[in-house]
Structure 1
Amino acid sequence: MTPTFDADFRARFRDLVLWRRDVRRFRRDPISRPRIDALLEVASHAPSVGLSQPWRFVHVESPERRLAVVKSFTDANEKALAGYAGEKHAIYAGLKLEGLREAPVHLAVFSDDATHSGSGLGQQTMPETLHYSVVAAIQTLWLAARADGIGMGWVSILDPKAVKRVLDVPAGWNLVAYLCLGFPAEEHLDPELERHHWEVRSNLDEVTFVR
C-alpha cells in the first residue's frame, strides 16, 4: 500500500528540516554502534545516480587517527583565518567551527569513484553526480540523526588528501565529508553563522528564477 503523509506529518517534517542544524557543541555521552548503523541503513536508501550507491562510511575510532584529523583542521583553520582582515577576522576567530574533540562519533564519508555498481549509468555526461549521490546520503543521515535526537556537524576545514592518507582507504575513494555525531550540548533554531553575524540567509526570491 502506498503510504500517505498528512498535513501534520508535513509540518513536522518541515520542523525537522529547520531543526537539523550543523552542530559543533556536543556532549561526550557515548552512542552505541548499532544506533549509528541504524542511521546509516536509512542513509543508504538515498537516491544515487544509476543506483551506483558510491557512499563508503568509515568509523574513525583510532585516537591517533582522530588526532591527525584534528591537526589537519587546526592547520587549515589557521590558514583560513589569515585570509580575513578587520571585522571578518575578529568574527572568524570567535567562531566554533568543529566539534572534533568532544563528539563521541567520527564518521568519514567517501565516494568510491571506481565503483562498478550502476555500470556508469548517468555518469558519462555528469561524472560529478557520484559525489552528489554521496551528499544525498549525508543529508538523509543528517535528518535521520536529528529525528533520533542526535546532532551532526560537517567539518570541511581540513585537507581531504591528508585525511585520506590518515585513514588508509583505497586509491579510488575520495573524501566528501568528515562528520561529527553526538548529543547536542545546546539547541538552536538559527544557524551558528547567522547567530554570530557571519552571514544571513537568502530570501527565496533571491535564489529562484524563471527563464
Structure 2
Amino acid sequence: MQASNALHAHAFSREERATIYRNMLARRDVRSQFVPDPVDDAVLARILTAAHFAPSVGFMQPWSFVLVRDPAVKQRAHEAFTQANAEAADMFEGARREAYKSLRLEGILEAPVNLCITCDRDRDGPVVLGRTHQKAMDLYSTVCAVQNLWLAARAEGLGVGWVSIFHKAAIRDILQLPERVMPVAYLCIGHVSHFLDRPELEAAGWRARLPLDQLIHFDCWDGASPSGDALKAHLREAQALATNGCPPL
C-alpha cells in the first residue's frame, strides 16, 4: 500500500485530472462562432501568461506576441488570407475543391482580438542549449506556447482559431516584423456563441480522427511488443471515451 501511495503522490486529484482532460477534449478551432463582446484585459493577461510559461528548449523563450485590435490591420490580414485561400482552393480538384470552398477557415474580422505569436530566431544568440543540432527547436518551442494559450483560453470560455492560410511575407509586412522574427501562429480570439461538439472539419466530413492504436510502434517503426495488445486495448477504450467527450479516466 505504501508503494502504491508513493507512485501517486504527485498526481492531481481525479477531479482535477478530469477537468484538465475535459479542457483538452473541449478545445475547438473556432471560425464562425465569434461574438463582438470585448475580451477583458485581465483575461487576456492570464492566457498570455499561460503561453509565456510554456516549455522551451534551452529555456530560450523565443516567442513574442503581436496583439491586433485595429480594424485596418485586421482588414489587411483578411485580404492576405482571401488571396492565399483562393490559391489554396485551386490546389484541390473536383469535389474536394468544392468541399474546400464551402469551409469557413477564419474569423479575422469578427474576433475582437487577433494575435500573432512569433519566434525570434536570434533570441538567445547563435549557440543555444538543445538547439545545437536541431535548429527548428525554437519553432517547436513556440508552438508549445500556442497550445498553452489555446487551452487557457478554452478554460476562460474564449474561442481560438488558428489561421494558417497566408503567405508568410504578407503577414511579416502587415505586422512590420523584423527579418529575424518569424510569424508562427496567427490566432483569432474572442467570446463565442457556442462551442461545437466535434471539430468542425470532422463534422463536415473533411477527415475522420485516426485510430490511436494504429499509430503506436514499439522500439522501432513497425516494431511489435509482447505486451502491446494490452496497451492497445486501453488505447481503444480511452479513445472511445474521448470521442464522446468523456475524460479517459
User: TM range, normalised to the smaller chain?
Assistant: over 0.9
TM-score (norm 2): 0.81
TM-score (norm 1): 0.94
Does 2:25 match 1:18?
yes
String of CA shifts for 1:134-158, please: whole Å, max 9, x gaps: 0001000000000000010000011
Correspondences of 1:37-48 after superposition (within 5 Å) = 37-48=45-56
Amino acid at match of 1:155: V
Displacement, 1:117? Answer: 6.9
> Matched residue of 1:47: which SS?
coil
The one of the two structures with greater contact order (alpha-carbon pairs below 8 A, sep at least 6) is: 1
What is the alpha-carbon distance in structure 1 between the residues aligned to residue 63 and residue 123 of structure 2? 10
Q: Which of the numbers 87, 102, 118 marks the counterpart of 1:94?
A: 102
Bigger Rg, structure 1 or 2: 2
What is the alpha-carbon distance in structure 2 between the residues aligned to residue 151 and residue 48 of structure 1? 25
* Cα pair 2:56 2:138 within 8 Å, conserved: yes
What is the alpha-carbon distance in structure 1 between the residues aligned to residue 109 and residue 74 of structure 2? 9
Q: Which residue of 1 aligns with 2:177?
A: 169
Q: Which of the numbers 12, 18, 21 marks the counterpart of 1:5?
A: 12
Does 2:139 match 1:131?
yes
Identity of matched residues, %? 39
Q: Which residue of 2 aligns with 1:50?
A: 58
Correspondences of 1:1-211 after superposition (within 5 Å) = 4-25=11-32, 26-116=34-124, 120-210=128-218, 211=220
Segments of 5+ residues of structure 2 without an aligned counterpart are 1-8, 221-249
What is the alpha-carbon distance in structure 2 between the residues aligned to residue 118 and residue 136 of structure 1? 22
Count of residue correspondences? 210
Displacement, 1:83? Answer: 1.5
What is the alpha-carbon root mean square deviation over aligned residues?
1.6
Segments of 5+ residues of structure 1 without an aligned counterpart are none
> Matched residue of 1:58: which SS?
strand
> Matched residue of 1:98: which SS?
coil
